[in-house]
């Protein structure tokens, strides 16, 4: 255990071999999980600086300001880092649907023994 990283108050993200940390985004009003993405050091710094969520797109290999083209930005209300500083939790106010499919959250399907089913926003 790295006591300075695990217990200290100095931001020292532990990026993986690709230079990324996981970011979990929840709706500050409802607590619903909106999305999971990844951040590199630049995305984290821009998120802290601007108060708008930025990520690293692994598929496009580029920096991504959430909602830049759709207008559905994520206003950061609270930004936390976990104990070993390899994941962040963003509590945000979404400006619209979070998912690229137009769904409010990326987690709009439930898995069961019968397969997948769509989840209503209230579920």
Q: For 56-112, what is each residue's pLDDT tens digit?
A: 999 999 999 999 999 999 999 999 999 999 999 999 999 999 999 999 999 999 999
State yes or no: 78 annotated in a binding site: no
User: How far, in Å, CA of 119 to CA of 82, rounded?
Assistant: 29
Give yes or no for a contact between 107 and 120, defined as CB atoms under 8 angstroms apart.
Answer: no
State yes or no: 99 annotated in a binding site: yes
Is 90 exceeded by the pLDDT of residue 44?
Answer: yes
Looking at the chain, list the stretches that DSSP marks H as alpha helix, in order from N- to C-terminal side.
3-7, 41-50
pLDDT of residue 120: 76
Distances (CA, A) of 95 to 16, 27, 56: 30, 11, 20
Q: What's the whole-model pTM score?
A: 0.91
User: How far, in Å, CA of 54 to CA of 64, rounded?
Assistant: 6
Go through the domains of the chain in sequence order and give each one's CATH number.
Answer: 3-118 (3.10.20.810)
pLDDT of residue 8: 86
User: How far, in Å, CA of 37 to CA of 111, rounded?
Assistant: 20
Where residue 2 falls among pLDDT bands split at 50, 70, 90?
confident
State yes or no: 17 annotated in a binding site: no
Kindly state the tokens that stand for 8: 């200290």
Residue whose entry in the numeric block shows the structure tokens 């708008």? 52
State yes or no: 77 annotated in a binding site: no
User: How far, in Å, CA of 18 to CA of 20, rounded?
Assistant: 6
């Amino acid at each position: 255990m790295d006591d300075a990283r695990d217990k200290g108050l100095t931001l020292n993200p532990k990026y993986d071999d690709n230079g990324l940390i996981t970011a979990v985004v929840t709706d500050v009003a409802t607590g619903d999980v909106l999305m999971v993405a990844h951040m590199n050091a630049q995305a984290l710094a821009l998120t802290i600086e601007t108060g708008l969520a930025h990520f690293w797109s692994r598929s496009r290999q580029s920096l991504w300001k959430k909602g830049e083209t759709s207008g559905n930005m994520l206003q950061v209300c609270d930004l936390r880092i976990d104990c070993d500083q390899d994941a962040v939790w963003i509590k945000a106010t979404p400006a619209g649907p979070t998912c690229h499919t137009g769904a409010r959250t990326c987690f709009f399907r439930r898995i069961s023994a019968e397969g997948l089913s769509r989840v209503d926003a209230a579920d």
